[in-house]
Structure 1
């Protein structure tokens, strides 16, 4: 078992650009948008963010300055999502956050409070930690009680194939500009700031996923707010 786990770990260290991916499209109202219509375009091609203390952890490199990005109107309680330019290659969780803009989403830099609305982690069976594979999109529900207004909607997949040391986890991030309508009077929380909400030593960020095989996984960030 140990030799197999070591081989899997060595294979996972292949990290060429072909193994990288980007969240490029918003799925809303049953329709997948054009690339970067509502999703802020990053400037580092398909490379991940690795420094959790950088402002890039909010919306990826270049994602805080995207004035041409449009704002999508979505209804509280509806199903929305993000699509990728290719299927996710590396193991790791998917997490979705929102942060309310002081005025317009298009001018917001994400420096306020973020709350989590969805996440997808591993399952455990017969001594294995199993991650979703061949994920080309991820959909979720915007809580019905989310207050109306404009938000940054943030998705990330944290690749853990090199996460046994600090700084080894890779964050594949995108933010979309959205306007929530038909919302409620909920108080989203708990909240974090980005950067600040993650530490490079968090157990869900610094982890050897191969050997010894973990028997549990601590999802990074706060608990999910369901509204």
Structure 2
């Protein structure tokens, strides 16, 4: 017979498997050729070491003004286990997601200057700028290719480039998927990692390129509140948030 502890462990494993199958997040990063393991959701942060901030479940955030929108719930520093990847401006970043199941929706990548150590930064007070985005790549809502479909085709990975002119410093890196495959509510999946950027660049974004989370999105935004099944033949999709800062 199974002990009570064994039954609890089996139930937890089954629950985690069901969550992973339904939703997900970034599980590792490859930056400038080096791989960094992500935070392991559903596990205590005690003893974990990662460049990624804590995120506790594979479930989505469904409110565009959720306080957890900057870096997911709960987005905390790992304390002594929190690391930062030292990378050069212009480096290629490959985010590896779990076996991502949703093919409809945009992919967005942001950065924010921590103006000091990122480990002690309050992510809700940071000013974020977008370095990459993709939405409806071709075709219509119902049968076209979306960025998340491309992500799936590429082995649940997304590749971006840090602007080569960006000034050195400590930055937060934020990947976000907005799944819009349901007609009732958006599904946000954000995760953050910490970087120490090197190089000789001096550029910094300003003005309308900078946004805060929450605050960058509203439920009334056309790319957020959308029923792709109501207008399946539509071919224009507006990606929420600011324009991409090229550097």
Please identify the structure whose Cα radius of gyration is greater. Answer: 2
Q: In 1, Cα distance between the equivalents of 2:84 and 2:61?
A: 24
Question: CA deviation digits over 1:131-150, x for unaligned, max 9?
Answer: 14225111111001111000
Q: CA RMSD in A?
A: 1.8
| Partner residue, 2:60 | 48
Instruction: Give TM-score scaled by structure 1 length.
Output: 0.85
| Alignment partner of 2:35 out of 23, 32, 43 | 32
Instruction: From the superposition, tell whether residues 145 and 130 of structure 1 become closer, same or farther in structure 2 (CA, over 3 Å).
Output: same
Structure 2 residue runs without a partner (length 5+): 1-17, 40-49
Residue 175 (structure 1) aligned with residue 192 (structure 2): yes
How far apart in 2 are the matches of 1:180 and 1:191? 19
* TM superposition shift of 1:39: 1.2
1:82-119 CA distances to partner (integer Å, 9 max, x unpaired)?
11122342421110001111211111122121100001
Name whichever structure is richer in helix by fraction.
Answer: 2
Task: Give the conservation status (yes or no) of the 8 Å contact 2:102–2:181.
Answer: no
Contact 2:93 2:162 (8 Å CA) reproduced: yes
Whether the 8 Å contact between 1:24 and 1:174 is mirrored in structure 2 is no
Q: Structure 1, residues 10-66: CA drift from partner, whole Å, max 9, x if none?
A: xxxxxx6322111121211213222322111212x2111112212210000011343
- What is the TM-score when the length of structure 2 is the normalising length? 0.79
Structure 1 unaligned segments of length 5 or more: list them: 1-15
Q: Which has the higher contact order (CA 8 A, sep 6+)?
A: 1
Structure 1 stretches of at least 4 aligned residues deviating more than 3 Å after TM superposition? 126-129
How far is 1:122 from its partner? 1.2
- Number of aligned positions between the proteins: 208
Alignment of 1:28-177 (within 5 A): 28-36=31-39, 37-43=50-56, 45-67=57-79, 68-110=81-123, 111-125=125-139, 128-132=143-147, 133=149, 134=152, 135=154, 136-162=156-182, 164-165=183-184, 168-177=185-194
Q: Say if 1:94 and 1:183 are closer, same or farther in 2 by CA, change over 3 A.
A: farther
